[in-house]
Amino acid sequence: MNRIALEALAGAVALSGASFAQSQVQTLPPVTVTTTRTEASPFDVPASVDVIDGSRLRAAGRPEVNISEAIGLVPGVTARDRQNYAQDLQLSIRGFGARSTFGVRGVRLYVDGIPATMPDGQGQLSHIDLVSAGRIEILRGPFSVLYGNSSGGVMQVFTEPGEGPAVVTASLVSGSDGLMRPGMRVSGSSGRLGYVVSANHFSTDGSRDHSSASRSVANARFDFRRAEGSDFTIVANSMDMRADDPLGLTRAQFQTMPQGADASATLFNTRKTVRQSQIGLVHEHRIDATNRLRWMVYGGQRDTVQFQSIPVATQGSPLHPGGVIGLEREYAGADLRWTSRGKLASGEIEVVAGLSYDTLAERRRGWQNFSGAALGVQGTLRRDEDNKVSNLDPYLQTVWKFAPRWALTAGVRRSSVRFASNDNYVVGPNGNDSGAVRYTATLPVAGLMFEMSPQLHFYAGAGRGFETPTFNELAYRPNGANGLNFALRPSRSDNFELGIKGRSAKDASLSTQWSVAAFNTTTQSEIVTQTNSGGRSTFQNAGDTRRRGLEASWSAALAPAWRIGLAQTWLDARYRDGFATCASAPCTVPTLVIPAGNRIPGTAQSVTAAEIAWQPAKGWQAGAEVRRSSRVFVNDANSDAAPAFTTVAVHAGYVFDVRGWSLAAVGRIDNLLDRRYAGSVIVNEGNARFFEPAPGRNYTLKFTGSYAF
């Protein structure tokens, strides 16, 4: 951290200590998580589990637009804000997902139990509604293998259930670069029905040239209790987005015009539109005192059109699929789960058995991104295929408290993922590229926890995971030809973790929680970028990789309203085997040698976060946040890197009541010191346009009003 940031943080800590000396500590309410499929306190789970509640999501003047706003204090998790809504956030856990050039990769995503990650492993964050979110649960490490096709972890977002009298909440966020985010939420309960309905619209001119975006999200949750122990939940969501794509910048562009866009972005008017809608139904039924049944069904559709900057000359080959991508996707699935509790020997045991099925049907088309002399328009059809991917996964999990201080958690999942493609574009030399492939894996996991005391727990965990190529990674062959790249194989990983969790006693004068976790993950047949040009990537299997690291977090609640949090991640992510990759595209034979020992690009060796806030229920509120990241290599060759950076954010506001209304006004300044840094990198970008600059000093003003009837 730089000197100014450290001094600001030290002063805030000293001030909070003075406040603590004069007051009693406020005890935090207990939290229960479901990320490991069993309801338990995060403190009692033999894994790295973090919970971010809705109050934190909406605190500190956060605009409630990107999920990256509120997860800075979760160690091991990185959400790099590209400031490019055409490509989504770059979310990674323990280094998995860092290579993704679009969407989320290597991390399983769920929203109200509905997978936001498709059965091929590709996930999206753009439809998540933070305005109505009640909590976010994040699971890192071995136990994520129980969710199937992923490597790094699991993130679940839950809409806040409606309870109590009807409450109407209106909010308005305004900020730099034309940011506007009006929103409305209605929540409450009536008899056996609980309801939450929200809608919001986000728009921005963008911090860079050609980076404007707009997004409308509507979200609803209805909970109906038919009888004691029999609950139904209906969740529905829709999203409509349009975003310009400024593309990445070269090193020279990043240094001289960081808020600019590459010339090809404006030349071809690179952009993306997405429309998505989905609905899900969850039913939980208590059979008797020891047995429960839960089933969930869902369905949805997501349509995407993306204009890329593929040069006209490159598309001259009759085998080239064009520079405009059109995806029409329909997805559906179901999950059936039975839970039973009983006795085994002298201890309690809980058994969870389930069957999960997910399917995705995709129509993928490609057109030229020009028509005559006009560029950036939809031209001649060059690709047309119907693709389908599905998984059918049975799973079993047990939690056995076999001794007073010991608990064993074990499970296994049999994952089977099938891809099939039917080529409808068979023209001239472009032959029939239809095909199919199936990937299977048996994924065991086990964890052991020892309760040294009610305030100190030790645990160890191990599990085997696998990660298939996504449809987007299969979509293109490195030689530039049409058809899916069925030569790709899934990667497989062995995950090990040791951890300690601590907390203060209930009657302690200081309420604290802390955790430390050490992990080691080795992966075979790692999927890596082979070519990346014009916004289009191809992939290959490299050899073995290793990710090992240490994660630590500490938080404290000090009376009357102080909150302090610290998080530190150290990650060593490297290639254990050398391999050859492509220096340019198209590429028939890789010739660029990547030596063993190189760092995996897109990963930072060290990430630090610190926050302090004064947050009473009424009156003045204020706080400060510090973020520090070490440098990040941009390619497998490790020939260039985004430099390390430290940022500081501050916020202040006032909360008060007027005639039944609860009102709040908060101002926030991000990147207070106006540092120039890369918010994210585009791994292995073929034109050396690796860098996606973050905005300079920027502000937001947030106004919120709630009325309870």
Annotate 416-438 with three-state secondary structure: EEEEEEEECCCECCECCCCEEEE
Q: How far apart are CA 602 and CA 95, in angstroms?
A: 8
**pLDDT tens digits for 73-109?**
999 999 887 788 988 788 899 999 887 777 788 889 9
Q: Give the rounded percent of residues in the chain with a pLDDT score beyond 70.
A: 94
Beta pairing partners, 581: 592
d(Cα 88, Cα 297) in Å, to the nearest integer? Answer: 26
Residue 535's pLDDT is what?
57
Strand 77-80 relative to strand 90-93: parallel, antiparallel, unpaired? antiparallel
Say how far apart CA 489 and CA 123 lie, in whole Å.
19
Q: Are 57 and 49 in contact (CB under 8 A)?
A: no
Task: Domain ranges for the chain, please list them.
Answer: 3-708
CATH for 3-708 is: 2.40.170.20
CA dist 360 and 175 (Å) reads: 38
R_g over Cα of the chain: 25
DSSP 468: P
Residue 508 CB neighbours (<10 A):
12
pLDDT at 30: 58
Q: DSSP letter string over 174-225?
A: EEGGGEEEEEEEEEEEETTEEEEEEEEEEEE--SSTT--EEEEEEEEEEEEE
DSSP per position, 131-148: TSEEEEEEEESGGGGGGS
Asked if 546 contacts 552 with a C-beta cutoff of 8 angstroms, the reply is no
State how far the Cα of 283 lies from the Cα of 293, in Å rounded to an integer.
Answer: 8
- Rounded CA-CA distance 521/671 in Å is 34
The residue type found at 327 is: L
Residue stretches of the chain with pLDDT short of 70? 1-32, 35-36, 480, 482, 533-535
Query: Which residues lie closer than 8 Å to 36 by C-beta, 6 or more apart?
Result: 45, 47, 49, 139, 143, 146, 397, 409
pLDDT at 587: 75
Q: What is the pLDDT of residue 31?
A: 66
- Closest CA relative to residue 209, chosen from 252, 258, 166, 176: 258
pLDDT value of position 534: 58
User: Distance between CA 622 and CA 6 in Å, rounded?
Assistant: 18
Q: How far apart are CA 531 and CA 682, in angstroms?
A: 12
Please give the structure tokens belonging to residue 283.
């039913």
Output the pLDDT for position 314.
Answer: 87
Residue 215 is predicted with a pLDDT of 97
User: pLDDT for 23-47, tens place per residue?
Assistant: 333 444 556 677 667 778 888 899 9
DSSP bridge partners of 494: 464, 522
- The helix/strand/coil state of 6 is helix
> What residue has token string 């794509």?
245
